Amino acid sequence: MAALKHKPVNLIFYVYNLIIIFSTHSSTAELRRLLQPAKPDGTVSFLVIGDWGRRGSYNQSRVAFQMGEIGDKLDIDFVISTGDNFYDNGLNSLHDPLFQDSFINIYTTPSLQKPWYSVLGNHDYRGDVRAQLSPMLRALDNRWVCMRSFIVNAEIVDFLFVDTTPFVDKYFIQPNKHVYDWSGVLPRQTYLNNLLKEVDVALRESVAKWKIVIGHHTIKSAGHHGNTIELEKHLLPILQANEVDLYVNGHDHCLEHISSVDSNIQFMTSGGGSKAWKGGDVNYLEPKEQMKFYYDGQGFMSVHVSEAELRVVFYDVFGHVLHHWKTYKEALYFAS
């Protein structure tokens, strides 16, 4: 532990004003709500990275450096991790050096010393899940905020983080040689039913201008894993009914943007935090789906949100802009 870098605990907590509270609505009592203040001008900026924790290898350190550069230019408020935070098998305990070697020692630039809101991926479920979820990790690095499913209220935008791994049948039916830690998830169907209800209620009750949902697994993807049929069946209808703006995921080790004629939801994949499948197979999309952008390499994405505009930019390992997209909503003005 002596090798751990000392973190400015008071600065982190007071400057970023991360306040953890429980929902006042009994229907969503299981989902924790975090308050993330917007900037004085009302805007929110953040980075999204996924599938990263490899002790700096597979260009993880290079991606981290560029994240720091872009994070500084954008004056980001926080970072979102889309899961598969620690390879290959999550953390094995609270004392696993992988937390220091793959997180603390890698994302060291000043602009990345902000809250990291993180979900679990399937590789994380192969380790000690409770260790990765434990608040004790925040004693080592208080940027780390990881829960199964939770809400972040950032004034003009609500973020809903969804635990997607328990939806996927093959992890239960055909786990192969892998051992998954399902503590806290079983009985599975009860867990999923409750989660879907909580997600639906949270989205319906949201009064934010923008709604962004984050999960590890894809809903729509042309990458190696392709679409996740269980999420298409169970989660997607809830997102469509509640007019979600973005679904952001990892799992496929690429950068990707897909739209669909079924709704205005934009499907964004940011899973290029380290090892990528460059040259891998690309799955065909359905005719109703439109590929806006696909890059089978390492990188990350940034998002800037104002009351009237949401802007997404994808970057490669050199910090080059690969793709940018923006959408608008009518601003609300009140007579004085």
Q: Report the distance separating Cα 218 and Cα 195, nearest Å.
A: 18
Q: Tens of pLDDT along 259-297? A: 988 899 999 999 999 999 766 667 767 766 799 999 999
Q: Is residue 66 part of a domain?
A: yes
**Does 247 appear as a known binding residue?**
no
Compute the half-sphere exposure of residue 296: CA atoms within 13 Å on the CB side of its CA: 12
Q: Give me the domain span that covers residue 241.
A: 33-328
Inter-CA distances, 174 with 107, 124, 251, 332, Å: 35, 17, 18, 51
- % of the chain at pLDDT higher than 70: 88
**Does 253 appear as a known binding residue?**
yes
Q: Is residue 82 part of a domain?
A: yes
Q: Is residue 13 part of a domain?
A: no
Q: Is residue 26 part of a domain?
A: no
SS3 116: strand
Q: Tens of pLDDT along 23-76? A: 333 333 479 999 999 999 999 999 999 999 999 999 999 999 999 999 999 999
| Catalytic residue status for 234 | no
Q: Is residue 169 part of a domain?
A: yes
Catalytic residue among 225, 320, 323, 324: 225
Q: Tens of pLDDT along 137-196? A: 999 999 999 999 999 999 999 999 999 999 999 999 999 999 999 999 999 999 999 999
Q: What is the mean pLDDT of the chain?
A: 90
**Does 141 appear as a known binding residue?**
no
Q: Is residue 230 part of a domain?
A: yes
Q: How many domains does the chain have?
A: 1
Mean pLDDT across the stretch 81-94? 98
Inter-CA distances, 101 with 1, 86, 87, 159, 187, Å: 12, 10, 11, 28, 34
Q: Report the distance separating Cα 328 and Cα 79, nearest Å.
A: 23
Q: 201: domain CATH number?
A: 3.60.21.10
Q: Is residue 14 part of a domain?
A: no
**Does 216 appear as a known binding residue?**
yes
The pTM of the full predicted model, rounded to 2 decimals, is 0.90
Distance of alpha carbon 129 from its chain centroid, rounded? 17
**Does 84 appear as a known binding residue?**
yes
Q: Is residue 16 part of a domain?
A: no
